[in-house]
Amino acid sequence: MKRGTVPVRPLIALAAVGATVLLGLPGPARTPELRLTGAASAPPGGAYWHTRELWEETSPRQLGGGSHRYWVVEPLVTERWSAPDGRSWVGSRRPGAYPKSAADRESWRRDGSPTKWTRTADGRPLSLSGRPDKGSVGPERGDGSFALARQRLTYDELQRLPADPDGLKSWLTRAARVQSTKETFVDSLVTQALTSLLHELPVPKEVRAAAYRALPTMPGVRVKGTAKDGAGRTGTALSIDPVGATPKDALVARSTLIVDAGAMVLLADDVRATMDGKPFLEGTGTRTILQAGWTDAAPAVPALP
């Protein structure tokens, strides 16, 4: 299999709402105060914990020529497979850029319906295609563990995370404080960790349920009611405002999650950013989690959506 690489832009959006680069800090086995002593782990439900995501963002600059200018959406499909022994694989594929709205499509047609762009409307160079690429898939480098709140956990330790909201939040808070005692940092890292438990990591459903119930107790998180994601699925929407943001902050990102409260999995994450109070397109977009669960299917180049 080809080695997989994940393009940068979706990671920019995650960073904007509090996700941080993992630095390989000591895990619970080497941090006594964070040891997990719950029940023995249940057997996995398949060979891999698998997620399939569609990230869609508007290109930060208009395309076209003359008066025929238009915005396009750049989609990206990303899949991950994580085995209980900590090995993981990642695959990605670009389905091809497309006009954002009906008005953009009309301008695109007047521009000759191009399927390849080498310059933006204002003359800046770029390389963008409206056709699908071949995609790639391959193993990720790692140490055979899973990342959570800047700690490294084994599969067994993930199964023994607290399955009650208060206990889970308390453990994650102590884990975050290994890195920093600054409350805004701790709150942001705990919120990000609770979100990741809803789809990224192979934890029991009871732990995902605890994460879902703990999220509304975090600063900046509010339950907004019922909503539908881009795939037409219905879930509960939660808005996340950046912790500690002030009017003086130049870049501010806000996120809206949609969670399936029955399966206890994340359905979508919509990120909207502003720069000096104005919409900022770089890193702004919608992530739709098309699949999250156990599978026996081996890693492969992602299929087109």
Q: Tens digits of per-residue pLDDT, 209-235? A: 999 999 999 999 999 999 999 999 999
Percentage above 70 pLDDT, the chain: 82
Q: Kindly indicate the confidence band of residue 199, based on its pLDDT and cuts at 50, 70 and 90.
A: very high
Q: What is the pLDDT of residue 272?
A: 86
d(CA 207, CA 188): 19
Q: Kindly indicate the confidence band of residue 182, based on its pLDDT and cuts at 50, 70 and 90.
A: very high
Q: What is the pLDDT of residue 247?
A: 57
Q: What is the pLDDT of residue 54?
A: 98
Q: What is the pLDDT of residue 32?
A: 40
| Lowest-confidence pick of 13-27, 93-107, 242-256, 286-300 | 13-27
* DSSP 3-state of 138: strand
d(CA 133, CA 300): 15
| Lowest-confidence pick of 36-40, 222-226, 285-289 | 36-40
d(CA 69, CA 65): 6
Q: Is the pLDDT of residue 48 over 70?
A: yes
| Across 69-84, average pLDDT | 97
Question: H helices then E strands: how many in the chain?
Answer: 6, 16
Percentage above 90 pLDDT, the chain: 72
**Residues 233, 100, 98: CA angle, nearest 5 degrees:** 95
| Lowest-confidence pick of 67-76, 127-136, 275-284 | 275-284
Q: Is the pLDDT of residue 25 over 50?
A: no
Q: Is the pLDDT of residue 165 over 70?
A: yes
Q: What is the pLDDT of residue 40?
A: 55
| Across 147-176, average pLDDT | 95
Q: Is the pLDDT of residue 105 over 80?
A: yes
For 116-133, b/e burial (b = at least 16 CB within 10 A) is ebeebbeeeeeebebeee
pLDDT, averaged across the chain: 86
